[in-house]
Amino acid sequence: MDSPSASIFLDDSQTPATGDRGRDSLLLLARLKVEGMPNDLSVRVRNLSAGGLMAELPEPVSPESAVQIELRGIGLVSGRVAWQTEGRAGIAFDRPIDPQRARKPLGARASDQAEPRTMRFPG
């Protein structure tokens, strides 16, 4: 782990020397597709940054496995398992993402928040 961005892959029990202010703690359900596994895994994403995430897994996966994870508000993101231990794994993305997109409420539009609409029912 020579690069400064490598700290995003540390689990919660480790302390990055450089600190990672880009990592966002959250709880997000996602679907993980692991190369060589027949079924997708339902995982809980515990932290997310532009370069990767940490997720809780229902079963072990091999480090360096190619993966795709479907994240709410972002879509399908490809990457590799950077580490795996005790029901958790770090995933390094192939390309940076905007992690704030995963935090936006589903279906919310600016026009929906401007003013409530009155509904009228016949009768």
**Boundaries of every domain in the chain:** 20-97
Give the CA distances from residue 97 to residues 13, 49, 78, 116, in Å, rounded to whole numbers and listed in that order: 25, 8, 11, 33
- Can you name the CATH fold of 20-97? Thrombin, subunit H (2.40.10)
Tell me the C-alpha distance between 55 and 83, whole Å.
11
Residues 71/102, Cβ–Cβ less than 8 Å: yes
Per-residue pLDDT of the chain (123 residues; tens, 9 = 90+): 333 333 334 444 333 333 344 556 678 999 999 999 999 999 999 999 999 999 999 999 999 999 999 999 999 999 999 999 989 999 999 999 999 998 877 665 544 445 555 666 776
pLDDT at 4: 36
Output DSSP code: residue 108. Answer: -
pLDDT at 40: 95
* Beta bridge pairs of residue 84: 89
Predicted structure pTM score: 0.67
Length of the chain: 123
pLDDT at 47: 94
